[in-house]
Chains A and B, each alone.
Chain A
Amino acid sequence: MTHIDEETLAIVALDDAAALPAQREHLSSCPTCSADLDELRRTVALGRSSRGVDLDRPGPEVWGRIRDELGFEPVATTPVAAETAGVAELPAAPERAAAPELPAAPERAAALRPRRRSLRLALWLPITAAAAVLGVLGGIAGSGLLRDAVGTPGQKVVSEARLEALPGWPGAKGTATLERARDGALTLVVDMRPGTGTAPAGEPLREVWLMRSDLSGLVSVGLMDGTHGTFTVPVGVDVRRFPLVDVSAEPDDGDPTHSGASIMRGTLSSPVPS
C-alpha cells in the first residue's frame, strides 16, 4: 500500500476512529506515516490545550523604546509636512498642552490596564514628534486596549474604539483603530472577535458606519468581509463629528440605508478628557 495521504493523516490525528482498517494496518508497519501521524497528534494535543489561552500585549510605549534603543529615526519616515497637511482641517490643539499629564484615562481603559502604564505613556508621549498629531486626535490614551499597539506599518494609530455588543448579539466584541498614513489619509481598521456577531440563520453582511454621538447622522465606510476590514475614511468626513463606529448586520437586499440591526458599537477615543 502506498503512504497515507496528508489529508487522511490530519483527520486521523484528530480522530483515531476515522482510520480505515487498511490504513491502521499500514500505520502499524510504516515508520514514515506513523511518525508523521505522531507529530500531527502532538500538534492537535497542543491545539486542544490552547483553548482559553489569551495572549497579553505589551504597553504601546515598548515599541517606541525599541526604536529608540536601535536608533531608528522616530519620525524620519513621516514627513512633517505631510502630517501637518493631514491635520490642517482639524482645530488647533489646546489638548496638546494637556497631554503630558494625561490625567483621567477613560474609566473603562483604566480598569483594563495597570495605572502605571498610562503614566509611563504620558512620559513617552511628549518626546515623540508624532505627539502633535496624537495630541489632536489623541487616541493613544486608549492604546492599551488595542490588539496591535503599533498598528499597520507605515501608519500611525491616532484613535481607537473598543466595540461592544448591542442587545441581541451577545458575545460580539471588537476594536476599531483610526490610522493615519504618511500622506495624511485616514484609515479605519475594524476587527471583530472571531465567531461572534453571527446570526443563527446564517452569515449576514456586515457594514461599518461612522455616526454622530447622538446617532443623528451616519456615514457608511464600507462592507466588511469576515471579521476584519480596512476602510479608507473619505476625505471630507470629519471623524470628530462622527466619532461613533458602528458595525451593523445588513440584509442582502440592496437597500443602502442602515438596517437598524447594529451588532456592536463604540466611540473613538476622544483626545484628552476635558
Chain B
Amino acid sequence: MTTTSPDDNRLFDAFGDGDERALEEAYTRWSPLVYTLALRALADVGEAEDVTQKVFVRAWRGRATFDADRGPLSAWLVGITRNCIADVHAERARRLRLEEAVAQEPPPAPDVGLDVAERLMVASELDRLDEVPRRVMHLAFYDDLTHTQIADTLGLPLGTVKSHIRRSLARLRTRLEVTE
C-alpha cells in the first residue's frame, strides 16, 4: 500500500533532474525535521545547523543514489541525518579521548532512535495535512474520540470522517517506511 502523493512524485523527479528548486522545496519541507532530530541528539544549535547543512548538501550530491521505490524522500533524508549525527558523536568521542589522559567511555548518546525520528516525522506530516483531515486526526489521536464522535463534533458525514482517517493513516504510514 504505497500511496505516494503526486506532489511527492513531482518533487522526486525534479530532485533527480537536478532542479535546484527541488532542493529548496525539500529544504522548506524537511529542514525542521532534520534540524530537530539533530538538535535533540546533539543539544547544540551550531552543530545541529551544521548537520542540517551537511544533510542537504549530501542529499543533493548523492541524489543519483536516491531510489523512490525504497522509501519516501523524507525517510532517506532521515537516514542521512542519522549518519551525520553519528559522525558528530564519533568526533566528540575522539576529541574526548584525546583530551583525557585516561581513556574513558564516551557519554551515552542521547536517544536518536528510530522512535524519535518517527514521532517527529509523524508530527511534521500531521502538520501538513489539510485543515479538515488534520482536525479529524487530532480528535482521533489526542482526544481519543471515536469516528462517530468526530463526525458529530465536526458536523461531517460519517463516511467523510472514515475516509479522512483511512487516507491520513495511509499517508502517515507511507512516510514511516524508513530506508535503512
Q: What residues of chain A have their CB less than 8 Å away from a CB belonging to chain B?
A: 6-7, 10-11, 13-15, 18, 36, 39-40, 42-44, 46-51, 53-59, 62-63, 65-66, 69-70, 72, 114, 116-117, 148, 150-154, 194-195, 226-227
Give which listed residue, B35, B45, B166, contacts A114 with CB less than 8 A.
B45
In the complex, whether B103 has a CB less than 8 A from a CB of chain A is no
Residues in B neighbouring A57, C-beta threshold 8 A? 31-32, 35
Q: Is the CB of B53 within 8 A of A65?
A: yes
Q: Is the CB of B32 within 8 A of A14?
A: no
Residues in B neighbouring A53, C-beta threshold 8 A? 119-120, 123
Q: Is the CB of A56 within 8 A of B141?
A: no
Q: Is the CB of A62 within 8 A of B146?
A: no
Q: A44-B169, A47-B172, A57-B35 are in contact. Are A194 and B25 (CB under 8 A)?
A: no
Residues in A neighbouring B24, C-beta threshold 8 A? 63, 150, 153
23 contacts between A and B (CB under 8 A): A6-B170, A7-B162, A11-B165, A14-B165, A40-B169, A43-B122, A46-B122, A48-B141, A50-B119, A50-B120, A50-B123, A51-B142, A55-B36, A58-B31, A58-B34, A58-B35, A58-B49, A65-B53, A69-B57, A150-B24, A194-B131, A195-B135, A226-B130
Dominant secondary structure at the B interface:
helix
Q: Is the CB of B131 within 8 A of A43?
A: no
Question: In the complex, what residue of chain A is closest to B161 when comparing beta carbons?
Answer: A11
Contacts A56-B39, A150-B28, A195-B134 known; list 13 others, CB within 8 Å.
A7-B166, A14-B146, A14-B147, A40-B169, A40-B173, A46-B119, A46-B172, A50-B126, A53-B120, A55-B123, A58-B48, A62-B35, A226-B130
Q: Is the CB of A62 within 8 A of B49?
A: yes
Interface set, chain B 41-78, CB cutoff 8 A to A: 45, 48-49, 52-53, 56-57, 60-61
What is the number of contacts between chain A and chain B, taking CB atoms within 8 Å?
135
A58 to B33, CA, bound (A): 10
CB distance from B161 to the nearest CB of A (A): 9
List the 10 closest pairs (A to B, CB-CB), nearest first.
A55-B32, A53-B123, A50-B123, A226-B131, A58-B35, A10-B166, A43-B173, A50-B122, A7-B166, A153-B21
CB distance from A139 to the nearest CB of B (A): 17
Q: Is the CB of B45 within 8 A of A117?
A: yes
